Amino acid sequence: MIKTDILIIGAGPVGLFTVFEAGLLKLRCHLIDALPYAGGQCAEIYPKKPIYDIPAYPEILAGDLIQNLEQQIAPFEPTYTLGERAETIEKLSDGNFIVTTNKGTEHSATAVIIAGGLGSFEPRKPPIEGIADYEDRGVNYMIKDPEIFRNKRVVISGGGDSALDWTIFLANVASEVILVHRKNEFRGALDSVEKVSELAKKGKIKLITEAEVTEIHGNGKVESVIVNHTKEGNIEVPCDHFIPLFGLLPKLGPIANWGLEIEKNAIKVNNALDYSTNIPGIFAVGDVNTYPGKLKLILCGFHEATIAVQFAYNIVNPGKKYLMKYTTVNGITGFNGETKKSEKAVVKSI
């Protein structure tokens, strides 16, 4: 069981900055994120896009913002559970929360701050009737262990980098690889596109372009898929696995079932005070929350997190008073005892 003062759900920019503000109050944080790395949308969707409305940064790449935040919070030694999705929450009689992930990792915390952005990133699932019945029975949206495809017949669908990369990789693992794509051109990295077309020429893989997988057939597990070709019509392709690779899409996911008050896919909070949810001890900050006048901006999330941790402090340390201190005056003291502080010097007498 991982124990912490504040458990932060979501390691995007706002979740990361929450660690900093909590650290100033000497509160320890642990973060959970469904992605295998920190950064949330900034890392997953637009790492190379510039952001222009971070105060004091006329322009900063989203990926650089995350790197800077990680550097900024390092003195407060955050710990992470990455690549796992927060699944269930339980409030114990002593007021502590137990949050368990989809992989069974348990976390105990006095306060929970949800900074889940738009939710956890999940594979975009093609709208094929009955596809859910075949999930993990031949339909795989993600490839965790390529060995399960050894000597199997595999149909991959998609035209982006991951479809191309896995086609190349599985060409040497599976007994047969067929890549189905809606267009007759691929938009992935040039190198991968060339490799795929070379493999197709050599007969190591088969390409079916201008086509879509429209049906899955089988008896308890995938036995074939129907590929609808724009000119040739329906083609039945026998296979053991169907791997649709159409990128990731954020979904609010299991948080929606935590008993929180939800409005338009976001968690309602008390913006007049502390960004608390309807469950005492659980706060929501950043894009995941909603209140009148809400703006989904990183800078608003930073503000919300700063306020929320002041109130989380009262939950972790009941009866104790905290007085806000300026970092310019007091510097910051990391959990290893080291203090970063400006040199004392008389700049100007007043």
Partner 1 sequence: MSDIKVKIKDRFGVSHLLDAPTDMAMNIMELCKAYDLPVEGTCGGMAMCASCQCYVHSNHELSAIGEAEEEMLDQAFFVKENSRLGCQLYLSIEMDGLELELAPES
DSSP 8-state assignment for residue 124: P
- 253 residue type, one letter: G
Q: What separation in angstroms does the CA of 81 have from each of 76, 119, 298?
A: 16, 16, 22
User: Could you say which of 57, 80, 169, 246 contacts partner 1 (CB under 8 A)?
Assistant: 246
Smallest separation, CB 179 to partner 1 (Å): 14
Nearer to partner 1, 15 or 119 (CB): 119
Smallest separation, CB 176 to partner 1 (Å): 24
- The reply to whether 63 sits near partner 1 by the rule CB under 8 A is no
User: Could you say which of 3, 187, 201, 325 contacts partner 1 (CB under 8 A)?
Assistant: 187
**107: three-class secondary structure by DSSP:** strand
User: For residues 348 and 180, what is the distance between their CA atoms, to the nearest angstrom?
Assistant: 71
CB distance 309 to 18 below 8 Å? yes
Number of residues counted as binding partner 1 (CB under 8 A): 21
Stretch that binds partner 1, among 41-49, 82-90, 219-227, 269-277 (CB under 8 A): 41-49
- The reply to whether 249 sits near partner 1 by the rule CB under 8 A is yes
Q: Which residues contact 150 (CB under 8 A, 6 or more apart)?
A: 173, 174
User: For residues 326 and 303, what is the distance between their CA atoms, to the nearest angstrom?
Assistant: 15
Helices (H), the chain: 13-24, 40-44, 62-73, 161-170, 190-201, 298-316, 327-330
Nearer to partner 1, 250 or 286 (CB): 250
User: Could you say which of 250, 281, 286, 301 contacts partner 1 (CB under 8 A)?
Assistant: 250
**Is the torsion defined by CA of 157, 162, 167, 173 positive or negative?**
negative
Cα dihedral 146, 149, 151, 157, rounded to 10, equals: -110
Question: In angstroms, what is the C-alpha Rg of the chain?
Answer: 24
Stretch that binds partner 1, among 44-52, 66-74, 89-97, 333-341 (CB under 8 A): 44-52
- The reply to whether 159 sits near partner 1 by the rule CB under 8 A is yes
| Residues linked to residue 4 through DSSP beta bridges, in sequence order | 109
- The reply to whether 220 sits near partner 1 by the rule CB under 8 A is no
Residues 97-156 that bind partner 1 (CB under 8 A): 118, 124-127
Q: Which residues contact 179 (CB under 8 A, 6 or more apart)?
A: 156, 157, 163, 164, 167, 196, 205, 206, 207, 208
Stretch that binds partner 1, among 9-17, 43-51, 63-71, 95-103 (CB under 8 A): 43-51
Binding letters toward partner 1, positions 270-309, x by CB under 8 A: --------------------------x-------------
Smallest separation, CB 247 to partner 1 (Å): 5
Q: How far does the chain reach from its first CA to its final CA, in angstroms?
A: 54
Smallest separation, CB 106 to partner 1 (Å): 31
User: Could you say which of 47, 123, 247, 254 contacts partner 1 (CB under 8 A)?
Assistant: 247
Nearer to partner 1, 52 or 326 (CB): 52
- The reply to whether 256 sits near partner 1 by the rule CB under 8 A is no
Smallest separation, CB 13 to partner 1 (Å): 14
Chain contacts with partner 1 (rule: CB under 8 A): 41, 45-46, 49, 118, 124-127, 158-160, 182-183, 187, 246-247, 249-250, 265, 296
